[in-house]
Amino acid sequence: MDESILLLYLTLFLFISSTTSTRAYNELVLSKADYQGLQAFKATLIDTRGVLNTWNGTRNNACSGGWIGIKCVRGRVIAIQLPGKQLAGSLSESIRQLTALRKLSLHDNSITGLIPSALGSLARLRGLYLFKNRFSGQIPASLGQCRMLVNLDLSHNSLTGEIPSTLNSTSLYRLNLSNNKLSGTIPVALTLSTSLNFVYLDHNKLSGSIPKSFGNLSMLKEVFLNDNLFSGNMPEELGKLSVLRTLDFSSNSIGGTFPISLCNLSSLVFLNLGRNMIDNAIPESINGLKKLSVLSLKSNRFRGEIPETLGNLSKLSLLDLSENKFIGVIPESFNLLTKLTSFNVSDNNLSGSVPLVLAQKFNASSFRGNIQLCGYTTSAPCPSSPSPSFPVKPGHRRRLSTRDIILIASAAVIGFLLLLCCLLLFCLSRKRRTATAQTTRTSAKTETEAGEDTGGKLVHFDGPLVFTADELLCATAEIIGKNSYGTVYKATLEDGNEVAVKRLRERIVKNTKEFETEVSKLGKVRHPNLVALRAYYLGPKGEKLLALDFMPKGSLSAFLHARGPDRHVDWRTRINIAIGIARGLNYLHNELDMVHGQLTSSNVLLDENFNATISDYGLSNLVNANVSSSAIVTTVSELGYRAPELSKLKKAEPKSDVYSFGVIMLELLTCKPPWGDDKWPRLATMGCFGHE
Ligand SMILES: *[C@@H]1O[C@H](CO)[C@@H](O)[C@H](O)[C@H]1NC(C)=O
Ligand SMILES: *[C@@H]1O[C@H](CO)[C@@H](O)[C@H](O)[C@H]1NC(C)=O
Ligand SMILES: *[C@@H]1O[C@H](CO)[C@@H](O)[C@H](O)[C@H]1NC(C)=O
Ligand SMILES: *[C@@H]1O[C@H](CO)[C@@H](O)[C@H](O)[C@H]1NC(C)=O
Ligand SMILES: *[C@@H]1O[C@H](CO)[C@@H](O)[C@H](O)[C@H]1NC(C)=O
Ligand SMILES: *[C@@H]1O[C@H](CO)[C@@H](O)[C@H](O)[C@H]1NC(C)=O
Ligand SMILES: *[C@@H]1O[C@H](CO)[C@@H](O)[C@H](O)[C@H]1NC(C)=O
Ligand SMILES: *[C@@H]1O[C@H](CO)[C@@H](O)[C@H](O)[C@H]1NC(C)=O
Ligand SMILES: *[C@@H]1O[C@H](CO)[C@@H](O)[C@H](O)[C@H]1NC(C)=O
């Protein structure tokens, strides 16, 4: 909003705002041992772009931000972050000197040689990101000594040998070893790492069967084992993975049957078993996979009839059963699969007529290779059907272009990949706790994380974002707004995902217990026109942060008033925005029995398609009752939206929200805000009508 957008580390912000300014100078001076460690680290790297030239001079400026990629706490290096800096050369074993190191991020460089086994002596290491380099040799078994390691990403290198069985001793949460040349089997010991949520071993040369104990990874949410040489059967025990969302075992040599227990995976969204040798019928109970959106069984040896119950999976968007040995008809229930955008039953032994909806939606390429199948093209009419009624004229079919299919498929895949990613790291210089960080499930939908060094508490609600307290606090943050409840930042997480972080003004917020009760209610609110609350964080010093969906197009206020003179907002957009606000408000009032109390065009946010989403709803419930509503209003720009009766300190009610909505409608109509020099009503000057 402001022209002077501030780039800063949220960490720094919290640091400054929560500690007194009497920190000793010597805490900023790099320790001698770490100074030598960094010099040795630099010595074996080839730094063509000269980014490490900043690592010059004395120990005094190393920790004050002068040395690129270095973060310290009390004179010790805790993070080295140099991704994508065109570094070559190799990593020195003398990295062992940096004993306080918690995060080493050197991904997207061209570093060669072995991964130093000395990394194993870094007892505090939590994140190791060496992906997209040219490392070769084996994964050092010593990494198992890093008890605190939660995130290990060595993907896209040329690593060989086996996956070390020692990794079970770590606290691994996310393991990405994909796109290497690893061989051997999955060590059973790895399945003792029950903290694993994300496992990517795809595109390697791993073989043997999938261990039964894989089912013991009870927190597992995503697993990619595709494009390897796995054989044997899929273990029955996989059915125990009750929170699993994504399973990709495609392009292996897995045989045997599709375990019925798999149908118990009610959280599963993506299932790809394509290009294997599985040879039973699809179980009737497949409709237990209630959330399934992508199902590919392509190129296996499935036989028997396609179960009618598959038509109950109403969320299916991709269904590929091609190149199997299915017989019988395509069930009529498939007409109910309204979300289907990609469908293929080619090269089976199906017969009968294709259900009408499918025949209209998909072309012959989805059905070919089934000699007795009819009704999907003019050249294969069904004998019994009266000829003119069907087939449908090809010109009237809604065909998906290749581009559509690619976009849809890649959106699905990329979506899943983005879901996860990364955690890590704490930059806050706080009292250390000795307990290892834990992630405890508090209910089906919420997860609490106790940040080790931050001493704070992070609680996640339902949603796609994965981050730890430390990662949130370390994220690059940019101020995007301020209002009477606090300051809002746009934080960019390590994995590139963006999240809006609202730091509430501490003095006005309820005590922790009441706050948690109220905020948990807000975390359950899900409506397309209400901004979703994804997590909250309670800091050790009482700071309270809310993590919300980031809305890329900013606020309605900025959209209407910060535009160039030659731009105009078309009517359809304006009406769509008004309807969106009305829907959100209606849901708030009638479904949640909640009053907004503070509706302005600044807290109506726009998503990428310019749909309106209301934010800041329910925040008044987080505020102390004895903080009068008038004390909350401090910003001039919030005043014009308040119903006149509220000035008498009366509690806001649905009617006063409707008043504010009316003001916004007028603002949409005239493009004038109810504040500033340009006050309406001056309807004659229709600001944003442009040339319509
Ligand atoms: C260190 O290098 C930077 C950039 O190359 C340079 O601007 C600075 O003057 C150097 N400082 C010292 C103390 O040499
Ligand atoms: C890790 O696995 C090994 C066997 O490979 C076992 O001896 C050791 O106790 C395991 N460690 C933990 C912490 O489970
Ligand atoms: C997996 O869990 C089962 C049941 O809890 C247990 O009997 C088995 O030993 C575990 N497997 C491994 C490898 O830990
Ligand atoms: C599926 O889950 C139910 C309840 O958790 C359990 O009783 C049943 O045995 C499971 N079925 C299979 C095939 O594992
Ligand atoms: C599956 O859908 C049919 C309608 O096609 C419905 O009658 C049946 O109850 C559904 N079964 C389940 C288990 O949802
Ligand atoms: C295809 O299915 C029919 C029965 O529907 C069967 O008679 C025929 O042998 C099958 N053909 C092949 C190649 O499996
Ligand atoms: C369906 O699968 C067949 C066989 O793999 C393939 O040739 C065809 O292109 C696919 N069609 C569509 C629409 O995906
Ligand atoms: C059939 O549809 C697929 C995608 O669904 C597309 O790639 C292909 O070009 C279409 N073929 C014809 C002949 O229209
Ligand atoms: C795992 O690593 C591969 C290769 O670097 C990358 O393409 C993929 O996105 C990573 N997976 C996830 C979920 O981060």
Q: Which ligand ends up closest to the CA of 157? A: 9
Alpha-carbon gap, residue 81 to 494, rounded angstroms:
11
Report yes or no: 168 and 147 within 8 Å, Cβ to Cβ.
no
List of E strands, 167-269: 174-176, 198-200, 207-208, 222-224, 229-230, 246-248
Which atom of ligand 1 is nearest the CA belonging to 58?
13
d(CA 405, ligand 1 centre) in Å: 52
pLDDT for the residue numbered 609: 85
Q: Select the more confidently predicted residue: 566 or 121.
A: 121
pLDDT at 431 over 60: no
Q: Which of these, 165, 173, 127, lies nearest to 146 by C-alpha position?
A: 127
Q: Give the three-class secondary structure for 241.
A: coil
d(CA 268, ligand 3 centre) in Å: 23
Q: Select the more confidently predicted residue: 473 or 240.
A: 240
d(CA 136, ligand 4 centre) in Å: 44
CB distance 287 to ligand 5 below 6 Å? yes
d(CA 252, ligand 2 centre) in Å: 28
CA-nearest residue for atom 14, ligand 4, is 261
pLDDT for the residue numbered 143: 96
Q: Give the three-class secondary structure for 222.
A: strand
Q: Give the three-class secondary structure for 129.
A: strand
What residues are paired with 500 via a beta bridge?
490, 548
Report yes or no: 659 and 643 within 8 Å, Cβ to Cβ.
yes
CB distance 335 to ligand 5 below 6 Å? no
pLDDT for the residue numbered 4: 31
pLDDT in tens, 517-566: 889 888 888 899 999 998 888 887 778 889 998 988 888 888 888 765 55
CA-nearest residue for atom 10, ligand 3, is 213
Alpha helices in 523-653 (DSSP H): 556-561, 571-586, 629-632, 636-639
For residue 389, how many other CB atoms are within 10 A of its CB?
7
pLDDT in tens, 55-89: 987 888 888 878 999 988 888 999 999 999 999 99
Q: Tell the CATH superfamily of the 228-383 domain.
A: Ribonuclease Inhibitor (3.80.10.10)
Task: Compute the average pLDDT of residues 236-244.
Answer: 96
Q: Which of these, 608, 606, 585, lies nearest to 663 by C-alpha position?
A: 585
Q: Select the more confidently predicted residue: 94 or 476.
A: 94
Mean pLDDT estimate for the chain: 81
Q: Select the more confidently predicted residue: 557 or 124.
A: 124
Region of residue 655 (left: phi > 0; alpha: psi -120 to 50; beta: else): alpha
Q: In what order do the strands lie in the sheet with 325-328?
A: 303-305, 325-328, 349-353, 372-374
d(CA 349, ligand 6 centre) in Å: 6
Q: Which of these, 141, 27, 38, lies nearest to 98 by C-alpha position?
A: 38
CATH T-level fold of 446-549: Phosphorylase Kinase; domain 1 (3.30.200)
Report yes or no: 466 and 439 within 8 Å, Cβ to Cβ.
no
Report residue 629's pLDDT band, with 50, 70 and 90 as the boundaries: low
Which atom of ligand 7 is nearest the CA belonging to 344?
1
Torsion, Cα 488 492 493 499, to 10 degrees, reads 40
pLDDT at 675 over 60: yes
Alpha-carbon gap, residue 485 to 20, rounded angstroms:
23
Alpha-carbon gap, residue 523 to 145, rounded angstroms:
38
d(CA 466, ligand 9 centre) in Å: 15
Q: Which ligand ends up closest to the CA of 61? A: 1
d(CA 265, ligand 4 centre) in Å: 10
Q: What angle do CA 430, 462, 343 make, to 5 degrees?
A: 135
DSSP 274-304: -SS---SPPPGGGGG-TT--EEE--SS--EE
CATH T-level fold of 556-689: Transferase(Phosphotransferase); domain 1 (1.10.510)
Q: Which of these, 547, 667, 671, lies nearest to 615 by C-alpha position?
A: 547
d(CA 450, ligand 2 centre) in Å: 25
Q: What is the CA radius of gyration of the chain?
A: 29
**In the chain, where the domains are located:** 228-383, 446-549, 556-689
pLDDT for the residue numbered 24: 42
Q: Which ligand ends up closest to the CA of 367? A: 7
Q: Which two tokens stand for residue 42?
A: 């630099």
CB distance 333 to ligand 5 below 6 Å? yes
pLDDT in tens, 291-322: 999 999 999 999 999 999 999 999 999 999 99
d(CA 401, ligand 8 centre) in Å: 6
d(CA 644, ligand 2 centre) in Å: 69
Which of 50-54, 403-407, 470-474, 578-582 is predicted least confidently?
Answer: 403-407
Which atom of ligand 2 is nearest the CA belonging to 187?
5
d(CA 529, ligand 7 centre) in Å: 39
- Cα distances (angstroms) measured from residue 71 to each of 20, 90, 351, 392, 593: 20, 21, 66, 65, 47
What residues are paired with 71 via a beta bridge?
79
Alpha-carbon gap, residue 7 to 592, rounded angstroms:
37
Q: Which of these, 325, 299, 329, 327, lies nearest to 311 by C-alpha position?
A: 329
CB distance 213 to ligand 3 below 6 Å? yes
Q: Give me the amino acid identity at 212.
A: K
Would strands 45-47 and 87-89 be described as parallel, antiparallel, or unpaired?
A: antiparallel
CA-nearest residue for atom 1, ligand 9, is 176
The length of the chain, given as a count of residues: 692
CB distance 322 to ligand 7 below 6 Å? yes
Q: Tell me phi and psi for residue 661, to 5 degrees.
A: -60, -40
CB distance 327 to ligand 6 below 6 Å? yes
What is the distance, to the nearest Å, from the Cα of residue 113 to the centroid of all Cα atoms in its chain?
33
CB distance 657 to ligand 7 below 6 Å? no
Ligand 1 pocket test, candidate residues 53, 55, 58, 59, most atoms within 8 A of CB:
53
Q: What is the pTM of this model?
A: 0.64
Q: What angle do CA 617, 621, 625 make, to 5 degrees?
A: 140
pLDDT for the residue numbered 685: 41
